Amino acid sequence: MENESALTARFSTSKWTLREALKSLETQGLVRVKSGPGGGAGVTEVSADTANEMLWNFCFSRDLSIPDIYALRKLLEPALARQVTPLLSEEALAQLTATAGRCCSYRRDGRGVSERQDEINFHNLLAAASPNPLLRFLIEFLNGLLLKVVVAQQYDPALTGIDLNYYGHDYHLDLIEAFRARDAERAAQLMYDHMEAAEDYMAKVAAVAECGRPSNDSSEDPRCP
């Protein structure tokens, strides 16, 4: 960017106003300001992490629900599965298999949040194989948002008696088989079924969490045992 004198002249403003504006842009991760000789402001590339944080803040100021998130996941995840089926390398397939295996071991050990992290990492690995940067960003954003909701609302799968194999792990194993067979349509259908089952699973976990909250009168909630 131009130096301070040139910028104040261009925008017909004082150097103090300019510095405040640049500081605001720096806070948002849009520019980098270097002080001292040879310093000045420069435009920076906005990272995916920075963009995600800004959007997460926006989302948490709205009344978002698990169904809201899954409405988009059911559209995007099957499209991703179809797209990456012919593109997945042996290394990527091995990573997917290892991640699916860790999910199962976490379930046995009762580490619910760790299990949920790896369940989401499975989908992030698929997103990493996409040549479409916007699809990749949206998938990773939704997955990160879902995990934040799980942690914030204390939706711990380990505290439930629900079998996650039916809702998640078995789908992952079937998806890996479809990927290895390069069957894109089967992968897309499996992913859609997986998203529907996962949404149902999260609704059950949320119900269990709500029933366990001290302020909740579970006797009035038909979802509570």
Q: Domains for the chain: give ranges and CATH numbers.
A: 4-43 (no CATH), 48-216 (1.20.120.530)
Residue owning tokens 């698929």: 126
For the entire predicted model, the pTM comes to 0.72
Higher pLDDT: 168 or 80? It is 80
Six token digits for residue 18: 């300019």
What is Dmax (Cα atoms) for the chain?
70
**Confidence (pLDDT) at 213:** 52
The answer to whether 22 and 33 have CB atoms below 8 angstroms apart is yes
**Confidence (pLDDT) at 78:** 98
Of 105, 110, 103, 218, the closest CA to residue 169 belongs to 103
Note the pLDDT tens digit of each residue in 153-207: 666 655 555 555 555 678 999 999 999 999 999 999 999 999 999 898 888 877 7
| Nearest-10 Cα torsion for 135, 141, 144, 148 | -150
**Confidence (pLDDT) at 118:** 73
pLDDT greater than 80 at residue 80: yes
List C-alpha distances in Å: 20 to 14, 25, 26.
10, 9, 10
**Minimum mean pLDDT range among 61-70, 112-121, 128-137:** 112-121
**Confidence (pLDDT) at 150:** 72
Of 150, 158, 168, 162, the closest CA to residue 206 belongs to 150
Measured CA to CA, the distance from residue 41 to residue 26 in angstroms comes to 9
The answer to whether 84 and 130 have CB atoms below 8 angstroms apart is yes
